[in-house]
Structure formats: C-alpha cells, structure tokens
Amino acid sequence: MEPLRAKPVTRRRELALFAVPMVILAIGANVGNALAPTLLTREPMLLLALAPRLRWLLLSSPSVHPLAFYGIPFVRALGVLSLYYFFGRRYGDAALRWVEDRAGRSMRPVRWIERQFHRARYPIIVAFPGTLAALLAGADGMPFAGFLVAAMAGTVVRLVLVRMVANLFAASLLDVLDWIANNQLWLTIASVGLVVVYVLWTNRSTTTPVETVEAIAEELDVAAAEVADGDPQI
C-alpha cells in the first residue's frame, strides 16, 4: 500500500488576511451584477465599486462624472490587484495550482498565460491587468513596484478606451439607460435570478467560487501537497 503523503497545513489566521477580502469582493461582485439594472439608474458609482465589468463601465459612463468613472475602478483595481499579488507572493506554486484547480473548463487560457508569463511579464500585465496576472506576478517574484506600474497602466488604458467608446455612442447608451429605467423592476428580478442560477451552477461545476477561509485553506493544502510531490500538471 502506498503511504499517505503528508498534508501541509495552511495557517488559517494568516490566510484570512487574504481570504476574507477575496470572499467580500466575490460577494460584492455578485450583488453588483444582480442589482445592476437598479444600480445603473440610481447608484452607478456604487455599481462601479462593486462590479466594474466592461458592460457596466460602458453603460454607466454617460451618467457618471469623469473623476468618478476613472477614480472608482482605479482605486478598486489598486486594492484588488495588490491583494492577489501578495497572495501569489506568499503561497507561490501552491497558489498557482489552486488557481489551476479552480479554472476547471477554462484551463487552457490559464495555462497559456502561465507559460508565457515569465518571458513577457510586463506586456501580459498591461494587456490583462487582472487577478490572474497579479497572482502570477507575485508567485514569479516580480518586483511589486514594477508590477503595480504595469497593472495600473493597463487599467488606465482600458478605462480610457471604454470612455472613448461610450462618448462615441453616448446617444444610444442614454436610450438604453432610459429603457432600463422604465423596466427596472422586472430586469432586476431577472438579473437576480440569473446570478443565483450562475452561483448554483458554479457550485456544481469544476469552477468554484471563493467561499470561506476554511475551504480555501483546505484547497491550498491539497495544492501544496501536489506541488511538493511533483504531481504532473493537468
């Protein structure tokens, strides 16, 4: 019988410094997406703080002052990307394996970015200034200052492009916003239902949402054990 491999134990209190904000951000994003039809017409700046997805950035642009449009997503990205950078810096290869295990069906693009990252760190971060790039930068030992400059530059470029497109199609976007305002109730009910279905579906699929500190700790323990044993990549 093959001996049981030792299972590393992730410190829960230390992990909570990363996991609690991750859980809060995940919940906030789901709430923002669910209530987007209402928030777009009543509190667009709150929507940008909760879930600054491309479609919400585009639709909220005509009704949000430029300072808020650029400032809120920029500050949010600064905090979120720093969080995932230091998470990757602290847990290294175990954090990468954790992301791979969670990627499930979307593994292929994750693998491609991982393979290319060390050779083209700055271009990748500028082009894809998201949590995966932040985690890879931390795990790769990239200097935090260099990462932050590249990531925020990519974020600013993205916001500027979205704002330019929104200004170009401002009249059409205002018509869409008027339609959303006139149908706000049933659109919000439908949106909440879609988010609930999505969360239930992800819970049953291979790609699981960030849930609790304990769940993340257990997954990191498994990932660290696989890395330590030299398990082949998926």
Q: In terms of residue numbers, what domain contains 90?
A: 12-222
In a domain, 1, yes or no: no
Position 44 in a domain: yes
160 within domain boundaries:
yes
Query: For residues 160 and 150, what is the distance between their CA atoms, to the nearest angstrom?
Result: 15
Q: Is residue 105 part of a domain?
A: yes
Asked whether residue 64 is assigned to any structural domain, the reply reads: yes
What is the arithmetic mean of pLDDT over 111-129?
82
pLDDT in tens, 5-42: 444 566 778 888 888 898 899 899 999 999 999 999 99
Environment class of 44 (CB within 10 Å of its CB; exposed 0-12, middle 13-18, buried 19+): buried
Does 95 map to a domain?
Answer: yes
169 secondary structure, DSSP code = T
**CA 76 to each of CA 44, 67, 69, 79, 118: distance values in angstroms, whole numbers, following the listed order:** 15, 14, 12, 5, 26
How do residues 143-175 score in pLDDT, each as one tens digit?
A: 999 999 999 999 999 999 999 999 999 999 999
Say whether pLDDT at 134 is over 70. Answer: yes
In a domain, 99, yes or no: yes
User: In the chain, how many domains are there?
Assistant: 1
- pTM to 2 decimals? 0.84
Which token pair is 86? 């230091």
Whether 6 maps to a domain, the answer reads: no
- Contact in structure between 177 and 62 (CB atoms under 8 Å): yes
